[in-house]
Amino acid sequence: MARVFVCALSISLLIAGPALAEVRLGKNVRIFGHDFSHRTYKRMEIETTHERPPWYGCRIFKRGSVYQGQKIRERTEICNLKPVAKGKRS
């Protein structure tokens, strides 16, 4: 019984071992030819909007930004559509 437990424990540690590794990136770090030194991700200005766009239909809004509630972060498509009357809905 103890052998089975030890074997199961060692196999689980072998499988989970790489997942426990920690990688720290610094200067002159290249992974598969790509430079990963001094990179910052998801860093962009956030703009607060209180008004709907002045057009009807869908458009790409502010290159490089995403509309999240009242915040704009990444590129996205914003739709400002006219409401359809209840009698005309399908």
Does any domain span residue 55?
yes
- Of 11, 37, 33, whose CA–CA distance to 24 is shortest? 37
- Count of domains in the chain? 1
Does pTM surpass 0.85?
Answer: no
On the 0-12 / 13-18 / 19+ scale of CB atoms within 10 A, 17 is exposed
SS3 31: strand
**Model pLDDT for residues 17-38, shown as the tens digit of each residue:** 555 555 665 666 676 666 666 5
Does any domain span residue 90?
no
Does any domain span residue 70?
yes
**Model pLDDT for residues 50-59, shown as the tens digit of each residue:** 556 565 666 6
On the 0-12 / 13-18 / 19+ scale of CB atoms within 10 A, 72 is buried
